[in-house]
Amino acid sequence: MAQLEDYFDRQSHVPQEVTRSLRLIKELDEKVTKIQLKLTSLRKQYKQQQSEKTKIEIDQLYEESVNLSQEKINISDKVYEVVDNAVQQLDNDLKKFEENLKSSMAPDHKRRFLILSKYQKEKRKKINQEIEQSKEIFQNASQSEPLYCICQKPSFGQMVMCDNQLCSKEWFHLECVKLKDFPPENEPWFCSAECRKEGKGRMKK
């Protein structure tokens, strides 16, 4: 019994670890959102003033945004790995435990096995419920992030802003719009022919 309790105690850290990771992802996402709002303002300012100081600030903020987004991705990958490994290890070890216990017990130990088996299943059910709740929280947190681009996913990696101020998506991942590099800062970039027409029309006014 002590061995079984020790096993579940070692697994019980998983929900707490996932919760901590979710908090960190939320904090990073809030930072990225603030940076992107600042970038939007600076891009408009740069178009009007062509200030080298503004350009440097844009580059620095963009690099910071990319690094924070990559950190979010790394944490997300780690969370999924931790949860999946915990579930697999839990199932595999419990199956082995049941098999070993059945093969080693004498007939007069049946009642003890039934009690132990019931305890074991209750503990496993509790751990699995906590893990599933953590996974659901993680998915909900991911879904609550602002969505951008034609892929309708959160911000990550390298992104470019559409110069049409009325663009509904505003930010786009470079790979989604088939860009290998950022467009020149002194040239407007539009995500579509519709945004190009609308954006240039507003520029002429």
> Where are the alpha helices (H) located in 105-192, listed in sequence order?
110-144
188 is in an annotated binding site: no
167 is in an annotated binding site: yes
pLDDT tens for 18-50 read: 788 888 888 888 888 888 888 888 877 877 777
1 is in an annotated binding site: no
Confidence band of 177 (pLDDT split at 50, 70, 90): very high
176 is in an annotated binding site: yes
Answer for the pair 195, 172: CB distance below 8 angstroms, yes or no: no
- CB neighbourhood size of 161 (10 A): 20
Sign for the pseudo-dihedral over CA of 40, 41, 44, 45: negative
Model pTM greater than 0.75? no
Q: Report which DSSP code applies to 164.
A: -
pLDDT at 133 (0 to 100): 61
30 is in an annotated binding site: no
CA distance 174 to 159: 5
Where are the domains positioned within the chain? 2-145, 146-205
Confidence band of 2 (pLDDT split at 50, 70, 90): very low
114 is in an annotated binding site: no
Confidence band of 176 (pLDDT split at 50, 70, 90): very high
195 is in an annotated binding site: yes
149 is in an annotated binding site: yes
Which of the listed CATH numbers 3.90.1150.10, 3.40.50.620, 3.30.40.10, 3.50.40.10 matches domain 146-205? Answer: 3.30.40.10
